Amino acid sequence: MENPDCSKIKIGISSCLLGEEVRFDGGHKKNSYITGVLTQYFSFVPFCPEVEAGLGTPREPIRLMQEGGDIKCVGVKTPEWDVTEQLVAVAKPKRDWQHTLCGYILKKDSPSCGMERVKVYRKGAPNRSGVGLYAQGLMKNFPHLPVEEEGRLQDPHLRENFIQRVYIYNRWLDLHEKGCNLRALQDFHARHKYIFMSHNQQRARDLGALMANHDCLGLDTLAQRYLASMMSLLKNIATRKNHVNTLQHIQGYLKTHLDNDDKDELSEMIADYRQGLLPLIVPITLLRHHFRKFPNEYVDHSFYMAPHPGEMMLLNNI
């Protein structure tokens, strides 16, 4: 395993996606978006569970097979070659390096790494109902960790959602490293409130209510409940409708500052975004422009206005 660059956010990854020749046929599945773009921002920690389990490279391909209520992982040509226990043993322990990760990118369709819809064979016929054995253990050990598959990262909305979750989870881990207290938690909530609104307005209100009615909860319990609700809320893909609502909320801070022409221009851009004529980056850029002239501390501190590095251009395609 490589030593990750400490200045970048750490992300776990299926080794073959980085170009490591660890696949059953001795090949790889290098992903150019990951190795060309994401490596500029993230430090990847590669891991191949099948190599770690001692299956060797090259090796016979394996697949998930259902027998009664059990799901096993066996050789494609040699079904009596059962590697289930080896793979489960690799997946079970919470490894030191996994605790510091802010996300994980898994190889789709793999009986070890696949996050969802992995083929499970029953009486020779496949159905896409499985989860890779390593992925299963990982997600059980770290239920709040942002996890995604490389195939789904091609969708601009899923890509933006995953990367946004990674940055938020990274800030959450930072908060705890520095020593979490109630004030810091309230500040964290305030800075992310508009992001939560853009994902799900009711659940954002529920999260706000949890923060407002925490009296009978200790700090640890509050933080754990908050984290679970927040990461579950963030899995809802932000919709155009919710973004419009959020943009209009933020626009409200400018109502006493802008003249009628500027107000109309901003409203038109939000309306064009609502209709899908413009990407999200356009109204956000105009808002940033106005808030540079008329600063507002609450909005300036909100991560909604800059959820991830602008050079990633993730708001240009949603």
Interaction site with ligand SF4 (CB under 6 A): 14-16, 22-23, 48-50, 107, 110, 112-113
The distance of closest approach from Cβ of residue 112 to ligand SF4 in the complex, given in angstroms and rounded to an integer, is 4
**CA 305 to CA 288: how far, in whole Å?**
7
The distance of closest approach from Cβ of residue 27 to ligand SF4 in the complex, given in angstroms and rounded to an integer, is 9
Selection from 130, 112, 113 nearest residue 121 by Cα: 130
Find out whether 148 and 105 touch, Cβ atoms under 8 Å.
yes
The distance of closest approach from Cβ of residue 8 to ligand SF4 in the complex, given in angstroms and rounded to an integer, is 21
For ligand SF4, the closer CB: 112 or 161 = 112
The distance of closest approach from Cβ of residue 147 to ligand SF4 in the complex, given in angstroms and rounded to an integer, is 13
The distance of closest approach from Cβ of residue 14 to ligand SF4 in the complex, given in angstroms and rounded to an integer, is 4
Selection from 221, 283, 209 nearest residue 248 by Cα: 283
For ligand SF4, the closer CB: 49 or 307 = 49
For ligand SF4, the closer CB: 50 or 148 = 50
For ligand SF4, the closer CB: 113 or 280 = 113
The distance of closest approach from Cβ of residue 26 to ligand SF4 in the complex, given in angstroms and rounded to an integer, is 10
For ligand SF4, the closer CB: 113 or 247 = 113
For ligand SF4, the closer CB: 72 or 107 = 107
For ligand SF4, the closer CB: 141 or 267 = 141
The distance of closest approach from Cβ of residue 53 to ligand SF4 in the complex, given in angstroms and rounded to an integer, is 9
Q: What is the 3-state secondary structure (H, E, C) of 57-106?
A: CCCCCEEEEEECCEEEEEECCCCCCECHHHHHHHHCCCCHHHHCCCCEEE
